[in-house]
Amino acid sequence: MTFKPLEVLMRFSIRIATGLVLILAFLLFNTTTALSQDLNQQKQAKRKQVTEIDAKLKSNPTPEEYEDLIKKREKIVAEIKAIEKIMKSDDATMKKINAVKRAGNAGNSALKLGQLPEALNYYNKAISLDSTFVRAHYGKGLTLKKQRKYKEALAAFQAAIDNDPAYSSAYLALGKTYNQLSQPDEAIAVYNQAIQYDPKDAKMHYMLGEVYQNKKKNYKKASESFQKATQINPAYDKAFYSLGVSLIELGKLDQAVMALENALAVTKKKRWEGPHYRLAAAYNKKSAYSKAKAAAIEALNNKKNYAPAAYEAGKACKELGQFNQAIKYFGIAGKSRVWKKTADYEIDLIKNRDKYGSY
C-alpha cells in the first residue's frame, strides 16, 4: 500500500473544520470565572497527547497505524488552535465582564449608603458596557424611585423585565411603583404578566390581591388571589391574614375566621396583633361576643393600647352588658385621633342609656 500524507490531510480537512465549530461551541459553555484556567489545562493535556502521538509515529508503525495516528494528531492540533483562539478573546471578554460587575457592585454599595447620584452613575456605566445587565437596570430603577423620578424608574424596571422575563424582583418593583402612583390597573397588568410567566409565584398572587383589596375594593377578586397564594404556599401567613380581611368584607365570616386562625397557626412572628383584631371584628359580626372580647384582648396583649382592638373589645363588652369594661376599652380607643369621635359616641351611649334606650 502506497501512503501519501498530503492525501490524508486533505481527506480529513472537512471533518476537522466541522469539529472546530463543535469544539468552539462546547468550550463556550464553560463558566467565565474558571474559563482561562480550565482552557489552559485542556491545552496542556492535548499538547501531551500530541507528544505521545509523535513518539508513536517515530516507532515505525504500520501504514494503517500511521494513518490512524495522523487522524488523531490533526484532530488534537485543531482542538489546540481552537482553545488558543478562545483564550485570546477570553482576556478581553473577562475584562469587560469584570468592569460590568465592578460598576454594578459599586452602584449597589452607593445605593445602600444613600449616595443616589453616585449609584445612578455606576448603574448607567454598567448598562453602557452591557445593556442586558438586568441587575443594573433594576438597581437604576430603585435609585430613580428614591429620587422620586417615577417615570424613569418605571422605564428602568421595564428594561430589566425585557432583558429577563423571569426576574421577579423587577415585576414586584414595577407593580409597587404603579400602585404607589395610584395606577392600580397598570399594577394589576404587571402582576398578571408575572403570573402568566410563573403561575406558581405565590408572592405575585399576594401582591395582586393587595391591589384588588386596598385600591380597587374588589374583595372577591382579592380573596381569589389570596386563596391562590395560600394554595401555592401553605405557610404564607400574610396571605391568610389578607384573605381573612377580604372575607370579612364579603360577609363570609366563618371562612374569615378560619383564614385568620390559619395566619396565626403558620406565622413565625412572636407578636402580631392584626389577626387577633380581625378575629374580634369577625366574632362581633357573628354576635359571638365572648370570643370577640377574648380575641380583642389578645390583640391588646400583642400591642398595648391598639385602638382598633380596643374598640372591638368595647363593642363586645357593651353587648355582654359589661358596661364599665366597655367604657374602659372605648376610652383606650379614644386616645387615637382616628377613633376618638366614634369611641366618645359609644361611651356617651353607655353613660346615657336611659336617654338613648337600654341595650
For the segment 158-171, what is each residue's pLDDT rounded down to a tens digit? 999 999 999 999 99
Residue type, 324: N
CA distances from 76 to 11, 14, 41, 50 (A): 16, 15, 14, 7
The answer to whether residue 182 sits within a structural domain is no
The answer to whether residue 335 sits within a structural domain is no
The answer to whether residue 340 sits within a structural domain is no
In 3D space, the residue among 146, 149, 198 whose CA is nearest the CA of residue 169 turns out to be 198
State the average pLDDT over residues 283-287: 98
Structural domain of residue 31, as residue ranges? 1-95
The answer to whether residue 52 sits within a structural domain is yes
Question: Tens digits of per-residue pLDDT, 204-263?
Answer: 999 999 999 999 999 999 999 999 999 999 999 999 999 999 999 999 999 999 999 999
The answer to whether residue 61 sits within a structural domain is yes
Query: Is pLDDT above 60 for 3?
Result: no
With vertex at residue 124, the alpha carbon angle to CA 121 and CA 128, rounded to the nearest 5 degrees, is 135
Rounded CA separation 283/66 (Å)? 93
The answer to whether residue 74 sits within a structural domain is yes
Written as nine digits, the cell of 277 is 383584631
The answer to whether residue 353 sits within a structural domain is no
Rg value, the chain, Cα: 35
**Residue at grid coordinates 480537512:** 13
**Can you state the angle between helices 184-197 and 168-180, rounded to 10 degrees?**
170
Query: Is pLDDT above 50 for 83?
Result: yes
In 3D space, the residue among 190, 185, 216, 186 whose CA is nearest the CA of residue 203 turns out to be 190
The answer to whether residue 300 sits within a structural domain is no
- Domain count within the chain: 1
The residues, any chain, with a CB within 8 Å of residue 347's CB and separated by 6 or more, are 327, 330, 331, 334
**Can you state the angle between helices 219-232 and 202-214, rounded to 10 degrees?**
160
**Can you state the angle between helices 134-146 and 63-112, rounded to 10 degrees?**
0
